[in-house]
Amino acid sequence: MTQEKQKDPTFEEESEEIGGGAEGGQGKRKRLFSKELRCMMYGFGDDQNPYTESVDILEALVIAFITEMTHKAMSTGRQTRVQVEDIVFLIRKDRRKFARVKDLLTMNEELKRARKAFDEVNYGS
Amino acid sequence: MDKARPWLPDLGPDLGVSREAPGMSLGPESSDPGRILPRDTAQEAREASDEEGGESARQDCPQPRAGEETDSSSRPPVAKRRKVDTEGKRGRQREVNEEEAQEMRTLVAAMSQEQLNRYQVFRSSAFPKATIKRLIQAVAGTPVSQNVVIAMSGMAKVFVGEVVEEALDMCEKWGEKPPLQPKHLREAVRRLRKKGQMPSSKHKILF
């Protein structure tokens, strides 16, 4: 089932995005995040088995969010590219998201440094 | 957004990444306007545990900025302040992290089994990076770096959290119980849109 999801041609998503939301955005598109979204909803306070319709609505919302953020990032700073600095700039007003992105990127840097130091220890000797 | 949410500790503005950001950061400094000289780090830690324990948790993001503006006339220029107090800030930051870690430990120890399950799922749930990357690249048309995918997945999760929490508020307000129904989500979206926290209707007609 997961294989099906991944092999599914990306252009199907693309054509639905480019073709506009005429079908309400929930027509033929395969569910991309069903499993993960269910877990996430439970984690945030919903029931252990959330309704499928609710999961679908949230998935559409997430995809719209990511799409819009990507478009905005492409029109900010260095054009036609999506860069982290642009994302951080766009999110500066939203305190929660800004803090979260900062945390994630900081942790990522620390992990990279730790891994590098670990590798050096191994290869140095 | 200013309610105390235990799952998102307010680390304040002075994390490493933001120290260079203009207009931000320098939070703890504004609570200590008289200090210009470098301090002993041990003394630093002691002082930090006194003042940070009370203040940092309550200190809000905009406040340091305001404090900085009003105090700037009586203090040395920004560049000099930064150079001198970096060591102190790192020490305080470590202290703050330690305290928060301790608070989290206490909280987790006090949770029931059901709460622990939920918390575990909350922490470990995430969007698959490959799918997010595919989605961004489909929209952008160009390959994107790994950091972008990391940032975007993190933001998407916070976004889901905002919607679900608002929907749960709606559910409770109407005297109903989870699982959430589409009407709760729709009302939540309407509210968040009013607050300006929703993607605009540029791309999809959802309902």
Q: Please report the ipTM that was assigned to this predicted complex.
A: 0.76
Looking at per-residue pLDDT, the higher value among A53 and A92 belongs to A53
Model-wide pTM > 0.90: no
Tell how far CA B21 is from the center of its chain: 16
The residue-averaged pLDDT of B151-178 equals 92
Nearest chain B residue to A67 by CA distance is: B139
Tokens of B133: 């990357």
pLDDT in tens, B78-93: 655 555 666 677 778 7
Higher pLDDT, A6 or B137: B137
Q: In chain B, what residues touch A69 (CB-CB under 8 Å)?
A: 152, 155, 199
Q: Report which residue type is found at A41.
A: M
Mean pLDDT of the region B41-52: 42
Q: Domains of chain B by range and CATH?
A: 147-200 (1.10.20.10)
Tell me the one-letter amino acid at B191: R
For residue B38, whether the previous peptide bond is cis, meaning omega lies within 30 degrees of 0, is no
Tokens of B161: 């959290």
Q: What is the pLDDT of residues B173-206, one digit of tens each?
A: 998 887 899 999 999 999 998 887 777 755 443 4
Higher pLDDT, A62 or B20: A62
pLDDT computed for residue B82 by the predictor: 56
pLDDT at B84: 62
Q: Do the chains contact at B206 and A87, CB–CB below 8 Å?
A: no
CB contact under 8 A, B185 and A54: yes
Nearest to B126 among A36, A66, A97 (CB): A36
Mean pLDDT of B40-68: 41
Return the closest-CA partner of residue B164 out of A64, A35, A54, A26.
A54
Distance CA B110, CA B104 (A): 10
What is the structure's pLDDT at A17? Answer: 42
Contact list, B123 vs chain A (CB under 8 Å)? 43
Average pLDDT over residues B169-173: 92
Task: Note the helical H segments in A1-125.
Answer: 2-7, 10-18, 34-44, 52-74, 84-90, 95-124
Contacts of residue B202 in chain A, CB cutoff 8 Å?
68, 71
* Predicted confidence (pLDDT) at residue B140 exceeds the cutoff of 80: yes
Cα–chain center distance at B117? 23
Residue of B nearest to A63 (CA): B135
**Cβ contacts of B144 on chain A, cutoff 8 Å:** 82
The C-alpha atoms of residue A28 and residue B57 are separated, in whole angstroms, by: 47
d(CA A69, CA A76): 11
Q: Is the pLDDT of residue A38 over 90?
A: yes
Neighbouring C-beta atoms of residue B205, cutoff 10 Å: 13
Counting one residue from chain A and one from chain B, the pairs whose CB atoms sit within 8 A come to: 207
Percent of all residues in chain B with a pLDDT value above 70, rounded to a whole number = 54
Q: Does the pLDDT value for residue A114 go beyond 80? A: yes
Residue of B7, B124, B149, B159 to mutate when probing chain A, most A C-beta within 10 A? B159
**Residue B197 tokens, joined:** 């926290």
Identify the weakest region by mean pLDDT among A3-12, B121-130, B194-203.
A3-12
- Contact yes or no for A100 and B17 at CB 8 A: no
In sequence order, the 6+-apart residues with CB closer than 8 A to the CB of B193 are none
Min Cα distance B73 → chain A (Å) is 27
Q: State how far the Cα of B148 lies from the Cα of B136, in Å rounded to an integer.
A: 9
B199 and A64: CB-CB below 8 Å? yes
Q: Evaluate if residue B41 carries a pLDDT over 60.
A: no
Position B121, amino acid: V
